[in-house]
Chains A and B, each alone.
Chain A
Amino acid sequence: MSETQPLAAGGPDDERIKEQGGFRKWLIRPELGGIVGVIAVFVFFGILAGDSGMFNAQGIMNWSQISAQFMIIAVGACMLMVAGEFDLSVGSMIGFAGISIAMFGVVWGLPMWLAIVITFAICLTIGAINGIIVVRTGLPSFIVTLAFLFILRGFTIFVPQTVESRTIIGGIEEAAEGDWLAALFNTDLAGWFFVWLADIGLVDTFTRGTREGEPVISGLPMLIVWAIVLVIAGHIILTRTKYGNWIFAAGGDAQAARYVGVPVDRVKISMFMTTAFCATVFACVQVFEFGSAAADRGILKEFEAIIAVVIGGALLTGGYGSVMGAALGALIFGVVQQGLFFADVESSLFRVFLGIILLFAVVLNTYIRRIITGER
Chain B
Amino acid sequence: MNAFFKTMAVTAVSAVALMGATAVHAEGERYVLVSHAPDSDSWWNTIRNALALAGEQMDVEVEYRNPPTGDIADMARLIEQAAASGPDGIITTLADPTVLSDSIQAAVDAGVDVIIMNSGTPEQAREVGALMYVGQPEYDAGFAAGQRASGDGVTNFLCVNHVISNPVVAERCQGFADGLGVELGESMIDAGQDPQEIQNRVMAYLNANPETDGILALGPTSADPTILALEELGLAGDIYFGTFDLGENIVSAIRDGVINWGIDQQPFLQAYLPVVVMTNYHRYGVLPGNNINSGPGFITADGLELVEALAGEYR
Contacts and interface: CB of A to CB of B under 8 A. Distances in A.
Q: Tell which of B70, B96, B110 has the most Cβ of chain A within 10 Å.
A: B110
A209 B65 contact: no
A166 B84 CA distance: 33
Contact of B66 (A63, A171, A347): A347
B16 interface: yes
B23 interface: yes
A43 B25 contact: no
A299 B71 contact: yes
Interface stretch (B101-109, B230-238, B267-275): B101-109
A173 B102 CA distance: 12
A43 B96 contact: no
B286 interface: no
B73 interface: yes
Contact of B19 (A46, A65, A212, A298): A46
Interface string B172-205: 0000000000000000000000000000000000
A66 B69 contact: no
B290 interface: no
A206 B19 contact: no
B73 A43 contact: no
B68 interface: yes
A49 B24 contact: yes
B71 A296 contact: yes
A63 B73 CA distance: 14
B84 A54 contact: yes
A296 B98 contact: no
Given A59-B85, A170-B98, A209-B109, A50 B129 contact: no
B24 A52 contact: yes
Contacts of B19: 46-47, 50-51, 55
A48 B68 CA distance: 23
A58 B103 CA distance: 12
A26 B111 CA distance: 48
Interface in A2-59: 26, 35, 39, 42-43, 46-56, 58-59
B43 interface: no
Contact of B106 (A173, A216, A347): A216
Given A51-B19, A65-B77, A344-B24, A294 B85 contact: no
A198 B86 CA distance: 17
25 contacts: A48-B22, A50-B15, A50-B16, A50-B20, A52-B86, A54-B84, A58-B80, A59-B81, A63-B81, A171-B98, A204-B110, A206-B110, A208-B109, A209-B109, A286-B73, A290-B72, A294-B99, A298-B71, A299-B71, A300-B68, A341-B65, A341-B78, A341-B82, A341-B85, A343-B24
Interface of B: 1, 4, 7-8, 11-12, 14-16, 18-20, 22-25, 39, 63-66, 68-73, 76-78, 80-86, 96, 98-99, 102, 105-106, 108-111, 129, 165
Interface of A: 26, 35, 39, 42-43, 46-56, 58-59, 61-63, 65-66, 165-166, 168, 170-171, 173, 204, 206-212, 216, 286, 290-292, 294, 296-300, 338, 341-344, 347-348, 351
